[in-house]
Amino acid sequence: MSDDFVRKALESALEKIAVLGSRRLAAQKELETVEKERAKLAVKIVSLARLCDDLPEDSDLGQMLKETSELGLTEGIKVILKASDEALTTIQIRDALIRLGFDLNRYRNALAAINTVLTRLPFVEVTKTSDQGKASFKWKDLPTSPFETVAKLPPKEAKKLIKNVAKGIVSSGNSAKTKKQITEKKTGNKDD
């Protein structure tokens, strides 16, 4: 099999995976946007519903309020962070959880419990606020794969990078093939 044939097949496969990565990235971004909007609306609905005196518990809204108050701490924090456009301190997150109707009385030290969850969440970015130097937390986007990174490049740059990668892979395969041929010549054995 010629190197040109392999290189072209490899380039084609890399281009296809870059296109799929681009489509996946767009879908992922859309999903993140939808999740953020849902989180914002959930916070708004729960906050407004708390102002109403009589809500039937068997209604959709009553059920939503009940489910929200029964959320686990991790899920509650995720909702709060996804709904916020800005980084929040632990105290701001605690206050938002309380506004959502989250029962923090089950924790001896709610701030410590919140901090523990925040340090374990993989998609939380820690920043320092300039005011008092306190740590604040923000939900961050999911990481991207190398193929999605290629998909973000302008088409000419992406094509050039793909060709270079394909060329590098094929040439590294050739060096392995060459080593094998040299070994075969020295030993007289062929692994056919």
CA dist 144 to 2, 99, 112, 134, 177, Å?
Answer: 34, 34, 31, 29, 33
Residue 42 counted as domain residue: yes
pLDDT band of residue 5 (cuts 50, 70, 90) is: confident
Residue 166 counted as domain residue: no
Residue 181 counted as domain residue: no
Residue 177 counted as domain residue: no
**Which residue shows structure tokens 């005011």?**
131
User: What average pLDDT score do residues 67-88 get?
Assistant: 84
Residue 185 counted as domain residue: no
User: What average pLDDT score do residues 1-15 get?
Assistant: 80
Residue 16 counted as domain residue: yes
pLDDT tens profile 92-135: 999 988 887 788 888 999 999 999 999 888 777 777 665 677 78
Looking at residue 178, its pLDDT comes to 47
Higher pLDDT, 20 or 187: 20
Higher pLDDT, 81 or 152: 81
Structural domain of 35: 10-139
Return the percentage of the chain with pLDDT > 90, whole number.
Answer: 8
The count of structural domains within the chain is 1
